[in-house]
Structure 1
Amino acid sequence: MGMVLADPAMLEKLAASMDRTAGEIPALRRKASELDVLSQVGHLSPLLSYLNETARELRKKARILRTPSESPFGALAQYGLPAGLARKPGAGKEFETGLKKVLAKFETAVPEARARAVKEYVEGLTPEQQAALVVADPATVGNLDGVPPPLRFAANRISIQRQYEKEKRLLERLPENSPAFARSLARVKALGQFLSPRIQKIVDPGTGKVVRREIPRQFLVFQPDAGSIAHSQSSPFADGKIAEVLGDLETAKDVAFRVPGVTNRLDNFQSFADGGVELLLNGDRVERSDGAVISWLGYDTPELGDSVDPAKAEVGGEELRAFRRGVGVNLRLDAKVGIFAHSYGTLVTSKALQAGMEDVDKVVFMGSPGLGPNIRSVKDFHLPNVRFYAMRAEGDTVSYTQGHGPDPADFPDITRLDTGAAFGHSQYYDGKAGAILGLRQVFAGQYDALKSTDSTLDEEMIGATEVRSLVGFLQERLTPEEVARLGGDIDPIAQGIVNGQMGFTDVSGPLYETLKDHDLLDKVPPRELFSEVNSLASDVAAKETYKGMLKGGSSESKALLYAGATKAASWGLAEVVTQPVEVVAKSTRAVNNWTQFAEVLAEGDLNTETWKKSLDKGSDAVTATIDLLNPF
């Protein structure tokens, strides 16, 4: 039976009843202690936890369902639009017809020309007529470039209210054990959040004091049925498209377009939107009055399984280019525009730039999987007046794997920004991790204050170089279509290595099974696969030994000696793990050979000339020693 969701008051009363019961338990425990029978009432502690947790969940669901019902006229009032004419039935039909004529006339025009024509038509109407148009066709007005932002905000609020009510009715009919219940509940919660005011912390221009105020949220795009359906059973709705504006878009001197990566949808949009708030804050965590941020989820983002396919980036790039040009008619002529792209969104941005999105001043690529195989430097964009920046946080597997081409953080002609204490793929907008400082400085045009970095993969994390090599090994043997077929199977393997959840010797089996499942073992023979994995595993072991011994106070020569011996031993052990029957003898010989080399090193017979030549070619100390001593 489905949960009765139509009465939040009932849920709150039930939660209050649980609170009263929970409040009596401490007194019962004290009484039991006085009577020396505390051991007989051990069930009271877990009961207290259950009551408290359940009461919290009931209140959470009640809050979701208490989103106020609002009429279209209430939505107009939220953005200062008059509702007089709009209240008359059919009053907006005339203006809706006029708008459709404009759209038909400019159907094949470039985005900015079409947007300017729309802007001219809508601004030619009186405020009352504009409001009537919003009520007559909110779905069109809310998503139409050229329409003044306040009108789009009001139109989308009307559409969100209607979608909220529709999806809430559907949710009420779903049993809690339905595969679609969790996603549907998340959608209803998200829609409710969109209708609720946000708290803005600003400096009052009149008093100069910092104040907090509730303001309605501002959505420039709302298309709940757009995009693909990630999982048909658990996702009864399409992923949706949505874009939110923070700040005054028409007066801002700095405007940021944020472009997200994979698995972003309407139901989890709030998490992405929170990053926009962080970007707009200054050092005192007060919102800038001269900036505007657009968190744009305006393309069909891929799931993990199809993130290696560039197809959605191609389409998304065209959509981003058109959106940027269309919105441009509502910006100040001297506004500085920045694109802040993350993950797969960097590929989308790359496609947009290559398709002609030239009207930007600065671009930041964060955690990029690559910008396409044809983009190997900033010069390849042929945009000399655009400032380009890149960020790669320590432990960011997406950047390490380079699934879509060279990592822009390694481009010779890009400015790579420091990421502070940010770790992994999702902390670039974290207010405490440090990377956000550089993003805010780029946004505000404070270029002289930027802090750059040039750390290598090995300096960031031992194993990162080998992860990149492993992915490159597979890409060399497979076509892009075959790589796409592997889907997201390789991604969790790479993440497991970087996160320390598995070693390189642990990945041989999963990789073998993945290639086998996709019928690709003819392209990547098991012997070659195991040999590559073993080689990379031994490199990791050597580097870990070298780093650990230096940290422990050993000399560099001793650390190099033991790193070399570790490489040999780990190679042998790795082969025993991956190919136990065929290579035991070879493994034993390898370890014995390395023992002899170690003895030579200990006696001071290291061929320093060969070692120095390797260093001169750009190798690090450990790699130079490996090159000198590797018997394979």
Structure 2
Amino acid sequence: MRRCKRTLVAAALAAGMITGTAGWASGNAQQPVTGAPPGAAEWRADRSLGRALPDPERARPADIAAFFRTIGAGERDRLARRHPLIVGNLDGAPAALRYRANALAVRGTPFARLAEPGRRILAFDPRGRGQVAQVYGDLERARRVAVIVPGADIDAGTFDRRNNRRGTLAGMAESLRAATGDRTAVIAWAGYTTPVGIGPDAAGGTLAEAGAVRLARFTRGLTATGKAAPALFCHSYGSVVCGLAAKKADASEIVALGSPGMRADSAADLGTSARVWAARHPSDWISKVPNVELLGLGHGNDPADPAFGARRVPTGGAGGHTGYFAPGSESLRVFAAIAAGDAK
């Protein structure tokens, strides 16, 4: 009975403590964004090529990639201009075409700054708080690809905010790319509805489950276009997303950093052929989150615990919950080796 009470107390604490990047502010319930973006009905009705276009929800990324190989550059561009939100989010479509489509899609939205010169927006969805994936580096020429999956309070409006740049998703992507000597294309993937602050969303798995579906499809879209399976860097609540996506995602490496748990008992239970790594700095407040999963709350075992079976990443020079990509830190050095395919 005493042990049961301790577990229940731990679960209650988990409900009030698990979060991502924003600290200890009060949370708000979020509805996950799912399905194809606006314009799907018009896309499905389009017969301008004399045939049905691949369904944006049901077609496999490999089939979408094959479709675009059968049409010419002019036809591709016309589809992008006619259906920018759909083409910009089609996993399996050529990256350059998605960039052009998304530059059109963001116009007239609150996120118009995403059309600034030099931006490479690989995905954009204006629904909810906005979702976006921005590429840092040359995705089409890079030999290796890394995807950073963020924790709470990250969306199209906050992923590259100017204050605390190092702690933002964009700052992490920039730091990782630089640490690889610009050899690796790094994608800042704010492609799911994240929790806001502290609350049941952060302690529960609903948002992570929806995000896992989107992440798995996104990675399959990368490999469908000929890219190597990416390395996934999964921060805080983002590691819950990665844990749930692991079985279906195309990934060469999965790195959980500052993780509250991955909804798995061990690395082997993730069901992936990818190598699994974990990093946690002693000063990271996430260590105070109870590693339990009960009645849908909490995210289970600590990936940084040796018993979990993940490869440990040293964290000297990091510090706090968002300092794992700090220049000069041991964690960034190892992350760069993982992203570049050089880690042993």
Question: TM range, normalised to the smaller chain?
Answer: 0.7 to 0.9
Could you tell me which residue of structure 2 aligns to residue 441 of structure 1?
A: 337
Could you tell me which residue of structure 1 aligns to residue 70 of structure 2?
A: 124
Taking structure 2 as the reference length, the TM-score comes to 0.76
Q: 2:321 matched to 1:425?
A: yes
Distance 2:51 2:283 in 1: 51
Compare CA radii of gyration and give the structure with the larger one: 1
| Distance change >3 Å, CA 316–CA 107, structure 1 → 2 | closer
2:122 to 181, 202, 220: 220
Q: Deviations over 1:478-531 (max 9, x none)?
A: xxxxxxxxxxxxxxxxxxxxxxxxxxxxxxxxxxxxxxxxxxxxxxxxxxxxxx
Is the contact made by 2:47 and 2:53 (CA closer than 8 Å) also made in structure 1?
Answer: no
What one-letter code is carried by the residue in structure 1 that aligns with 2:125?
Answer: Q
For 1:70-109, what aligned pairs fall within 5 Å after superposition? 97-98=48-49, 101-104=52-55, 108-109=58-59
What one-letter code is carried by the residue in structure 1 that aligns with 2:62?
Answer: R
| Distance change >3 Å, CA 248–CA 382, structure 1 → 2 | same
Secondary structure of the 2:65 match is helix
Q: Deviations over 1:373-409 (max 9, x none)?
A: xx222122243x4211100012211233134212110
| Distance change >3 Å, CA 154–CA 434, structure 1 → 2 | same
Distance 2:177 2:275 in 1: 20
Distance 1:94 1:344 in 2: 38
Could you tell me which residue of structure 2 aligns to residue 314 of structure 1?
A: 209
Could you tell me which residue of structure 2 aligns to residue 378 of structure 1?
A: 267
2:115 to 186, 195, 209: 195
Distance 1:336 1:300 in 2: 24
Distance 2:336 2:50 in 1: 39
Q: Deviations over 1:24-55 (max 9, x none)?
A: xxxxxxxxxxxxxxxxxxxxxxxxxxxxxxxx
What one-letter code is carried by the residue in structure 1 that aligns with 2:265?
Answer: R
Secondary structure of the 1:121 match is helix
CA-CA distance at 1:248 after TM superposition? 2.8
Is the contact made by 2:194 and 2:207 (CA closer than 8 Å) also made in structure 1?
Answer: yes
Secondary structure of the 1:408 match is coil
CA-CA distance at 1:348 after TM superposition? 0.5
Is the contact made by 1:249 and 1:331 (CA closer than 8 Å) also made in structure 2?
Answer: no
1:281 to 178, 181, 199: 178
Secondary structure of the 1:437 match is helix
1:239 to 129, 135, 138: 129
Is the contact made by 2:145 and 2:186 (CA closer than 8 Å) also made in structure 1?
Answer: yes
For 1:113-152, what aligned pairs fall within 5 Å after superposition? 114-152=60-98
Could you tell me which residue of structure 2 aligns to residue 367 of structure 1?
A: 258
What one-letter code is carried by the residue in structure 2 that aligns with 1:133?
Answer: L
CA-CA distance at 1:260 after TM superposition? 0.5
What one-letter code is carried by the residue in structure 2 that aligns with 1:398?
Answer: I
What one-letter code is carried by the residue in structure 1 that aligns with 2:122?
Answer: L
CA-CA distance at 1:100 after TM superposition? 7.7
Which structure is higher in helix share? 1
Secondary structure of the 1:243 match is strand
| Distance change >3 Å, CA 406–CA 329, structure 1 → 2 | same
Distance 1:221 1:96 in 2: 24
CA-CA distance at 1:329 after TM superposition? 0.7
Is the contact made by 2:92 and 2:220 (CA closer than 8 Å) also made in structure 1?
Answer: no
Is the contact made by 1:256 and 1:340 (CA closer than 8 Å) also made in structure 2?
Answer: yes
Is the contact made by 1:95 and 1:129 (CA closer than 8 Å) also made in structure 2?
Answer: no
Secondary structure of the 1:313 match is helix
Is the contact made by 1:398 and 1:425 (CA closer than 8 Å) also made in structure 2?
Answer: yes
After superposing the two structures, state which structure 1 stretch, 116-125 or 297-306, moved more.
116-125
Distance 2:126 2:288 in 1: 34
Q: 2:338 matched to 1:392?
A: no
Could you tell me which residue of structure 1 aligns to residue 31 of structure 2?
A: none
Could you tell me which residue of structure 2 aligns to residue 7 of structure 1?
A: none
Distance 1:126 1:331 in 2: 19
| Distance change >3 Å, CA 107–CA 294, structure 1 → 2 | closer
Is the contact made by 1:149 and 1:249 (CA closer than 8 Å) also made in structure 2?
Answer: yes
What one-letter code is carried by the residue in structure 2 that aligns with 1:323?
Answer: F
Q: Deviations over 1:204-250 (max 9, x none)?
A: xxxxxxxxxxxx2111111112xxxxxxxxxxxx3111101123323
Distance 2:47 2:96 in 1: 17
Could you tell me which residue of structure 1 aligns to residue 304 of structure 2?
A: 409
Is the contact made by 1:242 and 1:298 (CA closer than 8 Å) also made in structure 2?
Answer: yes
What one-letter code is carried by the residue in structure 2 that aligns with 1:415?
Answer: R
CA-CA distance at 1:129 after TM superposition? 2.5
Distance 2:236 2:202 in 1: 10
Distance 1:141 1:99 in 2: 18
Distance 2:51 2:191 in 1: 23
What one-letter code is carried by the residue in structure 2 that aligns with 1:122?
Answer: F
Distance 2:51 2:327 in 1: 44
Distance 2:135 2:177 in 1: 11
Could you tell me which residue of structure 1 aligns to residue 4 of structure 2?
A: none
Distance 2:103 2:203 in 1: 35
Secondary structure of the 1:102 match is coil
Distance 2:137 2:46 in 1: 29
Identity %: 32
CA-CA distance at 1:97 after TM superposition? 3.8
CA-CA distance at 1:430 after TM superposition? 2.1
Secondary structure of the 1:388 match is strand
- Greater than 6 Å deviation, 4+ residue runs: 92-96
Q: 2:221 matched to 1:326?
A: yes
Q: Number of residue pairs matched?
A: 285
Distance 2:134 2:311 in 1: 29
Distance 1:95 1:148 in 2: 20
Could you tell me which residue of structure 2 aligns to residue 257 of structure 1?
A: 147
For 1:509-548, what aligned pairs fall within 5 Å after superposition? none
Distance 1:97 1:347 in 2: 42
Is the contact made by 2:68 and 2:93 (CA closer than 8 Å) also made in structure 1?
Answer: yes
Distance 1:257 1:100 in 2: 34
| Distance change >3 Å, CA 100–CA 320, structure 1 → 2 | farther
| Distance change >3 Å, CA 93–CA 338, structure 1 → 2 | closer
5+ residue gaps, structure 2, are 1-42, 161-167, 292-297
Distance 2:150 2:179 in 1: 22
Q: Which has the higher contact order (CA 8 A, sep 6+)?
A: 2
Secondary structure of the 2:92 match is coil
